[in-house]
Chain A
Amino acid sequence: MFGYYLNLALYSLKRSPVLTGLMVLAIGLGIGASMTMITVLHVMSDDPLPGRSTQLYYPRIDPQPLGRGDTNPHSGDNLTWPDAQNLLRANRAERQAAMSAGSAAVYPVSGDGQPFFVPGHYVTADFFPMFDVPFRAGGGWTREQDQQRARVVVLGADLKRKLFGDAPVLGRTVHLKDADFSVIGVLGAWHPQPKFYADLDHGAFDKDDQFFLPLQTALDLSLAFRGQLSCWGSGGDSRKGPDCTWLQFWVQLATPAKAQAYRQFLDDYWRQQQDHGRFPRPVDARLYDLMSWLAYKGVVPGDVRMQLWLALGFLLVCMINIVALLLAKFLRRSGEISVRRAMGARRRDIFVQLGIESALIGMAGGALGLLVAELGLWSVRQRPDAYAHLAQMDAPMLFGTLALAIVASVLAGLLPAWRACRVPPALQLKTQ
């Protein structure tokens, strides 16, 4: 019977090609637009460090005076240098690291050619093991080297290739700004997106960092920092002062119990600092796990979420459109259906026959939707936004599109087929 119904459905669809085309186009556009936006949202809110993210926490202790930060609720998210030093020294977590973004002029190794600027990060020793950073060669530095302000550098794979080609580099020297650094490690492929460890207010989907230096060394050499520096009081814009927030800080805590204990420690730290006349705000230390931190920092722009809702609304209108058209189409065939019913077809047979017809439209629409979604993602990738390059369809999204198309078309066909199979045959035949 299935083959017969398929033939009937194809025949019926061919009889009104414009209408069939319209329905397929509507469902295709609706599904394509929705899947484009769902994919964009999916890649933007993805876990940047699967497996490790549940153990990573960001402590938020806000040293700002009362009333500051009215214009920017995130100005108290970064840490001051003394607080970062205190937390590092307290060593209450399994691992902890302070960090800040920077950029530096890099000199070509051969000695000739113009120096060029590359983005990098200034971090403390635990950064590499804590984030499970893969190395192609060598490794990071130690806490002792942090203290000694060691002139060592870890290179990103791209910068290493640009400077040295395929030659081994461990132990060789790179000239950054006005100092020499010894290469102690080269990163493997590491592209956490969003770049959770950076100052998320200034580009969560930035380019990969191309070098990593000890934070203390960078401060000593007055290298260029990037990201927000927020100061109050009369100490000026001094990075080492207690009145300027600019550092990001991460800790690794293996269990929720340890996280609870660490939060307690932060509260105690806040109180202890209040005894020294700092931290005038009421004690309110927070400890965000990685995914909550991304949500708190609003990594997914409101515009993208709005576009998703727009696309879903569009899909809904397309669906209603198809239901209405299929309903009219099926009911118009009441006479034909009644004849079949009178000849002994059960309601179920009619339902299956019409269901196959709407499923065909759904499948064609789904296939078109996939094409539209690929086109949509391609156009997103052409946009200049920093997250644009992420817009790629992966396997779950591909299956999601197909599932959405099938569910949508079955839903769209359900009501019309059900209504049509309930047409009373005797009445229809009599009026003919």
Chain B
Amino acid sequence: MTVHPILAALRRHKAGVTLITLQIALTLAIVCNAVFIIGQRVERVNRPTGMDERNLFLIEQEWIGAPSADDPASIEKLDAMQRSDLATLRNLPDVESVATISSLPLLNSSWTGGVGLKPDQQHGTANAAYYFGDNQMLKTLGLHLIAGRNFAAGEISHRGSRGTGEPPIAIVTKALADKLFPNDSALGKTVYLDGGATPTTIIGVVARMQIPATGRWGNSFAWNSVLQPVRLDASYTRTALRAKPGRLNAAMREARKALFDANPMRVMENQPDIGIGIFPFSEIRARAYRADIGMAILMGVICVILLAVTGAGIVGLTSFWVGQRHKQIGIRRALGATRRDILRYFQTENLMIAGAGVVLGAILAVGLNLWMMQQFAMDRMSLLYVFTGVIALLALGQLAVLAPALRAAAVPPVEATRSV
């Protein structure tokens, strides 16, 4: 089939053709970028924290009437209270292991600092988040130790949460180890935390552990974590617990009851906005990513509606054109064109319009991505998204044109002899 008659016919509908081309182009540009954003959000939400998240839960509580000063006596009192709580929890039948810890990945409450290679270094070599806790951290969180060893029970020190002092030993993540010592094993090496002068020796490396912050400011060091063998003493405590497999809910109930039985003077009712309560890790994860998930769903819904509107637009417009050309179709049929010829005609016509639309749309899609990179600090979109979008819209066009084109093919040749 030659395209010349199609072009000639289209020239008589300049405005309509331009509009539908524009619509296809804009749809392609928006859908490509929206799907790209959905993909990014899904990737972000699915990145593993490095922990074994099943059966993991967190207790955040505050004692009432506990000492709040920073003097040694108060700190000892608080430490005794904390150790007593830990012992209570470790005795529970459905609890596998218990660790005191200053924060958790995705909790968005963090201690961060610079890790340097020399003492009194103004600029840290790498930024990192600190986790303070005891020797049960690795086991309870399910972290994967790939080199060196865990802390021993006797190596855990304790201090007030406002105190200072860098510990003599620490465990770091592989990401941080590679950043600090790119050509060498980090094990046994000395680092200086927070621009201090006290050396800290790396005794272990874990495969992966995300930092608590999920905001954009943490993106540059999302995998740089330092585990410090320090039990922080304050009237507010965080404790991570691993329930025995399948016993998560039971363990959470037991923990709440046991802690209240041991000492009722505490606040532990769930109030996630001020960081108090007992939460399964799945809930902490959902809280951290709810905006991303909401955004992905919204983008998805808009994409589907947009494609439906554009598809319906093509159906409507082609239907009009078929209706308008009834007589001409009849004439062509009478002159010997087969039904298939008529069908092909409308399919080819749609392919040409959609083809022009997707070419323009691909340019718009890339342009929109560049604009969003400036405005919203987006990443560069892979051309694969544009390519897939092009195929999808061409397919949508063919699908939408099918019904009106079939109707056109069904026009009988006798139509040519009828007037008006």
Query: Which residue from chain B places its CB closest to the CB of A302 in the assembled complex?
Result: B376
Establish whether residues B162 and A238, one from each chain, have CB atoms under 8 Å apart when the complex forms.
yes
Partner of B217, one of A72, A221, A328: A72
Partner of A320, one of B22, B218, B236, B269: B22
Partner of A323, one of B19, B162, B298: B19
Q: How far is the CA of A110 from the CA of B197 in the complex (A)?
A: 53
**Stretch of A112-120, A271-279, A353-361 lying at the B interface:** A112-120
- For A22, list chain B residues within 8 Å (CB): 312, 316
Say yes or no for B65: interface residue by CB 8 A criterion.
yes
- For A302, list chain B residues within 8 Å (CB): 375-377
Q: How far is the CA of A222 from the CA of B29 in the complex (A)?
A: 56
Partner of B420, one of A235, A325, A432: A432
Say yes or no for A168: interface residue by CB 8 A criterion.
no
A24-41 at interface with B (beta carbon < 8 Å): 26, 29, 33
Establish whether residues A325 and B127, one from each chain, have CB atoms under 8 Å apart when the complex forms.
no
Establish whether residues A222 and B69, one from each chain, have CB atoms under 8 Å apart when the complex forms.
yes
Say yes or no for B347: interface residue by CB 8 A criterion.
no
Shortest CB-to-CB span from A234 to chain B, Å, is: 7
- For A237, list chain B residues within 8 Å (CB): 161-164
- For A189, list chain B residues within 8 Å (CB): none
Establish whether residues B15 and A419, one from each chain, have CB atoms under 8 Å apart when the complex forms.
yes
Best-buried of A73, A116, A237, A320 by chain B (most CB within 10 Å):
A320
- For A26, list chain B residues within 8 Å (CB): 309, 312-313
- For B419, list chain A residues within 8 Å (CB): 432
- For B269, list chain A residues within 8 Å (CB): 114, 116
Establish whether residues A321 and B65, one from each chain, have CB atoms under 8 Å apart when the complex forms.
no
Query: Majority SS of interface residues in chain B?
Result: helix
Establish whether residues B62 and A317, one from each chain, have CB atoms under 8 Å apart when the complex forms.
no
- For A384, list chain B residues within 8 Å (CB): 287, 290
Known A-B contacts A234-B164, A332-B323; the reply to A71 vs B15 at CB < 8 A is no
Establish whether residues B316 and A314, one from each chain, have CB atoms under 8 Å apart when the complex forms.
no
Say yes or no for B411: interface residue by CB 8 A criterion.
no
- For B26, list chain A residues within 8 Å (CB): 313, 316-317, 320
Shortest CB-to-CB span from B119 to chain A, Å, is: 12
- For B313, list chain A residues within 8 Å (CB): 26, 321, 324-325
Shortest CB-to-CB span from B172 to chain A, Å, is: 17
Say yes or no for B181: interface residue by CB 8 A criterion.
no
Establish whether residues A324 and B274, one from each chain, have CB atoms under 8 Å apart when the complex forms.
no
Shortest CB-to-CB span from B150 to chain A, Å, is: 27
Establish whether residues A314 and B267, one from each chain, have CB atoms under 8 Å apart when the complex forms.
no
A204-258 at interface with B (beta carbon < 8 Å): 206-207, 221-224, 226, 232, 234-239
- For A103, list chain B residues within 8 Å (CB): 274
Q: How far is the CA of A60 from the CA of B417 in the complex (A)?
A: 85
Known A-B contacts A306-B372, A327-B19; the reply to A105 vs B320 at CB < 8 A is no
Shortest CB-to-CB span from B27 to chain A, Å, is: 6
Q: How far is the CA of A320 from the CA of B122 in the complex (A)?
A: 58
Establish whether residues A415 and B122, one from each chain, have CB atoms under 8 Å apart when the complex forms.
no
- For A320, list chain B residues within 8 Å (CB): 19, 22-23, 26
**Stretch of B241-249, B299-307, B337-345, B394-402 lying at the A interface:** B299-307
Say yes or no for A92: interface residue by CB 8 A criterion.
no
Known A-B contacts A177-B68, A321-B310, A328-B16; the reply to A71 vs B376 at CB < 8 A is no
Shortest CB-to-CB span from B377 to chain A, Å, is: 8
A1-45 at interface with B (beta carbon < 8 Å): 19, 22, 26, 29, 33
| Residue count of chain B within 8 Å CB distance of chain A | 68
Q: How far is the CA of A301 from the CA of B65 in the complex (A)?
A: 39
Q: How far is the CA of A327 from the CA of B220 in the complex (A)?
A: 52
Shortest CB-to-CB span from B374 to chain A, Å, is: 12
- For A70, list chain B residues within 8 Å (CB): 127
Establish whether residues A324 and B309, one from each chain, have CB atoms under 8 Å apart when the complex forms.
no
Query: Which residue from chain B places its CB closest to the CB of A66 in the assembled complex?
Result: B122
Query: Which residue from chain A places its CB closest to the CB of B376 in the assembled complex?
Result: A302
Q: How far is the CA of A33 from the CA of B323 in the complex (A)?
A: 33
Q: How far is the CA of A117 from the CA of B275 in the complex (A)?
A: 10
Q: What is the interface of chain A, defined by CB distance below 8 A to chain B?
A: 19, 22, 26, 29, 33, 65-67, 70-74, 103, 105, 114-117, 119, 177-178, 203, 206-207, 221-224, 226, 232, 234-239, 301-303, 305-307, 310-311, 313-314, 316-318, 320-321, 323-325, 327-329, 331-332, 383-385, 415, 419, 432
Q: What is the interface of chain B, defined by CB distance below 8 A to chain A?
A: 13, 15-16, 19-20, 22-23, 26-27, 29-30, 34, 37, 62, 64-65, 68-70, 112, 122-123, 127, 161-164, 194-196, 217-218, 220-221, 235-236, 267, 269, 271, 273-274, 276, 287, 290-291, 294-295, 298-299, 302, 305-306, 309-310, 312-313, 316-317, 320-321, 323-324, 372, 375-377, 419-420
A-B contact pairs, 16 of them (CB 8 A): A29-B305, A105-B64, A177-B68, A237-B163, A305-B375, A307-B295, A310-B298, A313-B29, A317-B26, A320-B26, A321-B309, A328-B16, A328-B316, A328-B321, A332-B324, A385-B290
- Identify 18 new A-B residue pairs, CB closer than 8 A, beyond the known A178-B68, A317-B309, A385-B294: A22-B316, A33-B302, A71-B127, A74-B217, A114-B267, A177-B68, A221-B68, A224-B62, A238-B162, A301-B291, A313-B26, A314-B302, A317-B30, A320-B26, A324-B19, A327-B15, A415-B15, A419-B15
Give the 7 A-B CB pairs with smallest separation, nearest first: A236-B164, A324-B19, A328-B320, A222-B68, A321-B313, A237-B162, A72-B217
